[in-house]
Structure 1
Amino acid sequence: MSKGYPQNYHLPAEFETQEAIWLSWPSNKESCPKTYLKLQDKFGEIAANLTRYQRVRINAPEMMHMSIRLSIADNEGALNMVDLYNHNTNDVWCRDHGPIFIKHNETGEVAITDWNFNAWGGKFPYDLDNTIPEKAAEVLKMQRFTSDFTLEGGAIETNGKGLLLTTEAVLLNPNRNGGKARTKAEMEKELKGMLGVNDIVWFKAGIEGDDTDGHVDDIVRFVREDAVICMVETKENDPNFKVLKQIREQLDDVRTADGGKLEIIEIEMPNAIEAKDWRLSRLPASYANFMLLNNAVMVPIFGQKKKDAIAEDKIAECFPGREIISVTAKDLVMEGGALHCIAMHQPK
């Protein structure tokens, strides 16, 4: 473990070459009592797909390893691509509790940043989840830099060239810091010091129904260093209309390191998915919550034929040469997230 800020490292973009994808397998029935078995099937389907492109590293209690292998393996080759670690978790959201990887500017060496994780302001148990970056650093024999600040991977988005997008509703929320909000200046200093970013763009808030208080990975995602996908809402009476309109307008003023403007690819939000008798009356469904792989993109779809198809086509255009894998994500969003939320990419 290293005290102090990493020197000469940066936060790489997700569209750059990856070494592996990390998942935290559904292993705690209490965190998802209604969808527990469905989620395990869904993770089996997703992991089997992932093994076609790169290594899959899975946090799960040892007693589950055999059943996980069975749920992934339709062929021997698939299992050769899977590393199982005896790491217990409270929940499945590896994007948020997993290690945030940084890369050395000269040697390309990858290291881990380990932030405080408190389940989006203490909404759920998190004692086991908060140990995952340290355990990952141990098994990967990587250098680990720690921060006392609270940060989740889904709260930040980068182009790999020093530009970072985030939301005030998350990073400046008093619930992330024991009831006392961090100032923007404090947060910027920590993000720049830990992740080697230069410019931070702050959006006000996120989408409706989001347990996380408004993660950016449901709204804006980089597809190249100078291009983003941005979710938009056309129905003026929808609670997401104003928030997304403001973000879309803000993006016009964002500049890359060389002063250029961003290309902005708009994708319309799925129609609202309501849940009866559930803690989320509206589910945080968004096409921006796709998962990037080396030669593929896993796209969440929501059983809305026309909107799903348009989103798939637009995302495919952003990533020529990458296969599009569509995954029905209703069971995942019932629990509060989609494909990007369950996976943390490890850069090569």
Structure 2
Amino acid sequence: MIEPRLLQPGTPPPAARGFRMPAEWEPHDATWLAWPVRESDWPGKFPLIPFVYAEILRHLTRFERVHLIVPDAATEVTVKNLLQKSGVNLNAVQFWLLPTDRSWLRDSGPMYLLNTQGQKAILDWHFNAWAKYPDWHADDALPSAIAHLQQLPYWQPVVHGQRVVLEGGAIDVNGEGWLLTTEECLLSTTQQRNPHLGPKDYERLFADYLGCSQVIWLKRGIVGDDTHGHVDDLARFVAPQTVVTVVENNPGDDNYLTLQENLDILRNWRGPTGEKLEVVSLPMPQPLYYEGVRLPASYANFYIANGLVLVPTFNDPADRHALGILADLFPEREIVGIHCVDLVWGLGTLHCMTQQEPRATRNGTPPDNP
């Protein structure tokens, strides 16, 4: 076993060592999930949520391993019983006993990198519950804990002496140096993650730590988004130069102008040598409310797994249209709709709860010393 190492500031950053963040459609070793334990995230609907998770696991385990975080051994026994009844392939599930505050691993879990030699490492960004909630310390500790358990080296990005906050749902990458994000999430003074950073600071961070030299800044997120502008409810790479983006067709809807503005940015974007994006529109479902709260229902919150794309559905006429568009874009993968009317009451769906671990050819081997 090789001792994991926290690679300190002052040593060459990941990109200088040949590391990059792979695209989500690249081969996975596994998907990470955290079992839901916080009833207050789904007030009044929590008893339904474990069954949604079980259905997601049933599909994922047909194609890849799942690393499932549970808080203790007693919960593991209960969860195994439910998963077995639900037809989940338990041979493809590995349980990890770790404390969590919430189960949105896209934002709190480890962000994996690969280098040109097929070596794997982890980025441990600071997590502060979207600069909104006071209880985040258990979630913040997850990436470094997993790095130690997996015997992987890891970085904690620091700028001006402060750890940098970055959630996985705030960015999307094509694996070849391009990155999507929003001004609302990273640059707004509302739910401000990093007051000491400006756009050029972020662009340098993305280049140094993710291997992304081209940043596409969209404007605002959808109505109801508790994260204040995560891009994974807006626009996603589905191929190196292809982006799907949600579009609202009703001019009277609160999302209409915002999504039109983002659509124009994507259509007009040009890379340093004139590269263009192929932009594919996804519909938005009709507004979805519960207890008078508009929920962040979006088909862009899909998750790309090995041989499979899980897509949130909302008992909406647009479900069929969205599934068809994604089927055309991923002809070699199964497209599976997951009913998310109850799940989205927690203000997130499939992409928010998952975190991919890319496949490495030399798993567990740290990069050479500088």
Q: TM-score, normalized by length of structure 2?
A: 0.89
Distance 2:259 2:319 in 1: 19
How is 1:8-157 mapped onto 2 (pairs within 5 angstroms)?
8-62=18-72, 63-74=74-85, 78-104=89-115, 106-123=116-133, 125-147=135-157, 148-157=163-172
Mean CA deviation greater in 54-63 or 207-216? 54-63
Match of 2:262 in 1: 247
SS of equivalent residue, structure 2 residue 336: strand
Aligned residues of 2:55 and 2:86 also touching (Cα < 8 A): no
Distance 1:178 1:248 in 2: 25
Match of 1:168 in 2: 183
Mean CA deviation greater in 22-31 or 323-332? 22-31
Distance 1:172 1:85 in 2: 35
Distance 1:289 1:58 in 2: 20
> Unaligned 5+ residue runs, structure 2?
1-5, 158-162, 360-370
- 1:110 positional shift: 1.5
Aligned residues of 1:120 and 1:175 also touching (Cα < 8 A): no
Q: Give 2:287's match in structure 1, choosing from 259, 262, 272.
A: 272
Q: Deviations over 1:198-220 (max 9, x none)?
A: 11111111000000001100111
Name the CA shift for 1:178/1:300 in 2 (closer, same or farther; >3 Å): closer
Name the CA shift for 1:255/1:283 in 2 (closer, same or farther; >3 Å): same
Name the CA shift for 1:160/1:258 in 2 (closer, same or farther; >3 Å): farther
What residue identity is the alignment partner of 1:270?
P
What residue identity is the alignment partner of 2:79?
I
SS of equivalent residue, structure 2 residue 290: coil
Distance 1:138 1:121 in 2: 26
Q: Deviations over 1:217-276 (max 9, x none)?
A: 011111110111110011111111111101111111234576432211111100000122
Aligned residues of 2:58 and 2:87 also touching (Cα < 8 A): no
Q: Does residue 3 of the first structure (1) align with residue 8 of the second (2)?
A: yes
Match of 2:365 in 1: none
What residue identity is the alignment partner of 2:18?
N
Distance 1:179 1:138 in 2: 27
Q: Deviations over 1:43-99 (max 9, x none)?
A: 111112111110000111122111111222259981111011111111110101011
Aligned residues of 1:118 and 1:176 also touching (Cα < 8 A): no
Match of 1:287 in 2: 299
SS of equivalent residue, structure 1 residue 49: helix
Name the CA shift for 1:296/1:100 in 2 (closer, same or farther; >3 Å): same
Aligned residues of 1:149 and 1:177 also touching (Cα < 8 A): no
How is 1:206-285 mapped onto 2 (pairs within 5 angstroms)?
206-255=221-270, 259-277=274-292, 281-285=293-297
Aligned residues of 1:163 and 1:256 also touching (Cα < 8 A): no
SS of equivalent residue, structure 1 residue 246: helix
Identity among equivalent positions (%) equals: 35
What residue identity is the alignment partner of 1:220?
A
Distance 2:307 2:272 in 1: 27
- 1:182 positional shift: 2.2
Q: Does residue 311 of the first structure (1) align with residue 322 of the second (2)?
A: yes
Aligned residues: 343
Q: Give 1:320's match in structure 2, choosing from 322, 328, 331.
A: 331
> Unaligned 5+ residue runs, structure 1?
none
Distance 1:270 1:76 in 2: 30
RMSD across aligned positions (CA): 1.8
What residue identity is the alignment partner of 1:88?
P
Name the CA shift for 1:324/1:97 in 2 (closer, same or farther; >3 Å): same
Aligned residues of 2:164 and 2:194 also touching (Cα < 8 A): no
SS of equivalent residue, structure 2 residue 140: helix
Q: Deviations over 1:174-218 (max 9, x none)?
A: 456578352112222222211111111111110000000011001
